[in-house]
Amino acid sequence: MTLKIFVGMTMARIYQTFFAAYWPDRPDRLSIGAMGLLLAYIAWKMAFTGWVFPLDNFTLAIHEAGHPIVGMLFGDRLMIYGGSLFQIVFPGIFAWYFLREKNSLGYMFSILWEAASLHNLGIYVADARDQILPLAGNGDRIHDWAEILGRWHLIGSCGFLGGCLAFVCWCLTGTCMVLLWQLWIEAPNQQDI
């Protein structure tokens, strides 16, 4: 199987997961309502504060753990990429798990976590030139994305790249809203349970 076919099939499968018809077991309306409140909270925090408590705190811990792990496995030069890599990969692993388990709300939470992580990362990337954000740790920390974009000679594009990540974040959030609405419409009635 060529890479092009594999990527195409994977993208088609991911696309299908954002429709209620993909999920054989429909959650009840109470669970859907709770997920709706969580989705509204995450979207509100991303839009108005830029920090989703406590989700972003957990994501920051994963980000910081990614640096030494990638550094140990692949060397100091690639250690700088580890934080952002872990921050993006971890929610994806959870999404894959819930997809395999056919758990639509767990999958949706993982996608929302990915969206919040991309939003957070977009803010970090956009800050590469100005470096206004406070960094975790003591005073000798370097700004990951200032270093990365400096290596690639793309520091002037930090705002655009951060905006692209934010755009993907809001696309994922909107897609979750559509899936949640579809699940609500097709939820089993109390009499059917």
pLDDT tens profile 67-126: 999 999 999 999 999 999 999 999 999 999 999 999 999 999 999 999 999 999 999 999
| Gap between the Cα atoms of 144 and 82, Å rounded | 10
Residue 180 pLDDT more than 80? yes
Give dist(CA 181, CA 190) in Å, integer: 18
In one-letter notation, the amino acid at residue 57 is N
Specify the pTM: 0.92
Percentage of the chain exceeding pLDDT 70: 95
Is residue 137's pLDDT more than 80?
no
128 Cβ contact list (under 8 Å, min separation 6): 143, 145, 146, 148, 149, 150, 155, 158
